[in-house]
């Protein structure tokens, strides 16, 4: 009796991987950090567009 595990291989196409990983996405972002004396201003903006939809994020902080 052979107790070695059996493995089966299969071929995966790029189109199959796109549907598994969520497809194609494009993102962009920008950041600003400004310090003047004791005051610091930070701002971030980013956006993501994919086959799943659109997402955007913005942040503004004063320190």
The tokens for 61 are: 């902080």
pLDDT band at 1 (very low <50, low <70, confident <90, very high): low
Look at residue 30 in the predicted model and tell me its pLDDT.
92
- Given a contact cutoff of 8 angstroms between Cβ atoms, the answer to whether 50 and 25 are in contact is yes
Look at residue 39 in the predicted model and tell me its pLDDT.
87
6-15 mean pLDDT: 70
pLDDT in tens, 12-45: 777 666 666 556 778 899 999 899 888 888 999 9
pTM: 0.49
Torsion of CA 44, 45, 46, 47, to 10 degrees: 170
- Given a contact cutoff of 8 angstroms between Cβ atoms, the answer to whether 59 and 42 are in contact is yes
């Amino acid at each position: 009796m052979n107790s070695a595990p059996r493995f089966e291989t299969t071929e995966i196409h790029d189109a199959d991987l796109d549907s598994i990983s969520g497809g194609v996405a494009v993102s962009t972002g920008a950041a600003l950090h400004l310090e003047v004396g004791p005051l610091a201003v930070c701002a971030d903006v980013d956006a993501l567009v994919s086959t799943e939809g659109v997402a955007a994020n913005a942040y503004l902080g004063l320190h």
